[in-house]
Structure formats: C-alpha cells, structure tokens
Amino acid sequence: MSKKTFLVLLVLLLSACEAQQQAMGLREAVLAKLQDDPDLKDYKLDPAKVADCVVRAISDDAPGIPGDPRRDTYFKAYTHMLSVKTPTEAEQTLEQYKEFFGSQQGVREAALKVTDHIMTCMGEAIEERGE
C-alpha cells in the first residue's frame, strides 16, 4: 500500500470516527429530550429505544457517506437544534446553520424533521408492542 493511499484511508477513518462521535452526541440530545416525554410514559415506551430509532432516521438522511466532512456539521446542527431551550437560542441556531441548510427555512424544515422522526419512531415502538 502506498503512503498516499494509506494517508487517504487514515483521513477517511478519522472522519468516520468523528462522525460516529457526533452521532453519539446526537443520541444523548435526543434521549435527554425524550426522558420526560409524557407520551412515552403513557405508552410505557423505552426512551433509549426511540432515541436509537430517531438517530438512525437522522443518520439515514445525512449527506454523503460516512467520512464525508458535511456529516460532522449535520450531526452538530441536529444536536444543537435538540438542545435549544429559548427563542433566542432558536434564532441563533437559525443564523448559525442557515448556510449549511441553504436558508433559515431549510433549518426550520430540518428541525421539523426531528419531530417527524420522533413521532414515526414512537409509532413503530407501539406497533412492535402490538398495541
């Protein structure tokens, strides 16, 4: 294996590891959001299982392939969206990621996808239980 090929593979591997770490941070943010969700409690759903499903769905929508540097920003953006607690933070998030998502509307649509993923994953978890 040539030195050049080795360096390319090493860079791709390091990028993939960084994206994996970002995905784990995303999972923690999703799990924190779901911990006290009354619907999950009412249906006695495991927040960790729903969080894993949501992260999978978001990952499936991520740009490129593992190792693509855009994925790192993508996971950071979603983690940030899930962590917003005030309208001021929401506006800052819109500004911070509008270039990445193409516009402020693109950021809003990405945030709405999170809600869609959560609802879909909750539905799947309920179906798996046979209810």
Q: Kindly report, residue by residue over 14-70, the tens digit of the pLDDT.
A: 444 555 555 678 999 999 999 989 999 999 999 999 999 999 999 999 888 777 888
**pLDDT recorded at residue 19:** 52
Domain that holds residue 103: 3-129
**Per-residue pLDDT band at 1 (split at 50, 70, 90):** low
Q: Count of domains in the chain?
A: 1
Q: Are 111 and 80 in contact (CB under 8 A)?
A: no
Average pLDDT, the chain: 85
Angle at 34 between CA 29 and CA 38, to 5 degrees: 160
- Give whole-number Cα distances, 92 to 10, 84, 85, 95, 127, in Å: 35, 9, 11, 5, 37
